[in-house]
Amino acid sequence: MDTLVYGIYFTLFIQAVQVLFARWTPGAKFYLGSIILLFTLSTIHIALAYTWAFITDRAQTGIYELFSLDNPLPVLYGPDDPAVVHRLGLLIKIRYTLANALADGIILYRCYVIWGHNWRPVTVPAFSYACTIIGGILGIIPLSGTSERVATAACMITIFCTNVIASSLPVEFGGCLAELLGSRGGQTREGNIRT
């Protein structure tokens, strides 16, 4: 399944790069660098996941069990597994945290830009984003079973909240914009809005 999803992602990555080059704007360098970094992190994930699957016999649970709320936590590696399996698990957690921080940070930045560089509308998703990063870091650090589960749950909940809240901000903005454009004949008080 990872390979299929990665193939789809590869196709979307190539299309996104083509669109960025076709519609080059002053901010395109930032987005080009961001999507290249996210794609690189996904490629690293695939390499680490396959390496982990070939080394350990616990591949049937999937590499995604590294972040789990199951009680008891799934056994990802046994005492007889080589040390490289433990390191691969740590690298996958670090990669996951970096990719989430980057992707959610881009969404948050886009909301900030859409709202005219006003920090107030993005305060709640920014707080959720900070909690996501803290939860991700705590998920990387080896903690006891309950503490690790709490950190993982906090990370998962705040990732969801950040994405839902930040994704709904432009929708709200679009509704306000339509109302403004309808009542002012196509012009807003600030003129054209550039994103």
| Whole-number CA gyration radius for the chain | 20
The residue among 77, 82, 85, 130 whose CA lies nearest residue 108 is 130
Quote the DSSP letter at residue 78: -
Residue 195: inside a domain, yes or no? no
Domain residues for 36?
Answer: 2-184
Q: Provide the whole-model pTM.
A: 0.71
Question: Which carries the bigger pLDDT value, residue 15 or residue 4?
Answer: 15
Residue-wise pLDDT for 162-183, tens only, equals 878 777 776 555 555 445 444 4
Tell me how crowded residue 149 is: count the other CB atoms within 10 A of its CB: 18
Residue-wise pLDDT for 32-87, tens only, equals 999 999 999 989 988 887 887 777 765 555 555 555 555 555 555 666 767 787 78
Number of domains comprising the chain: 1
Residue 34: inside a domain, yes or no? yes
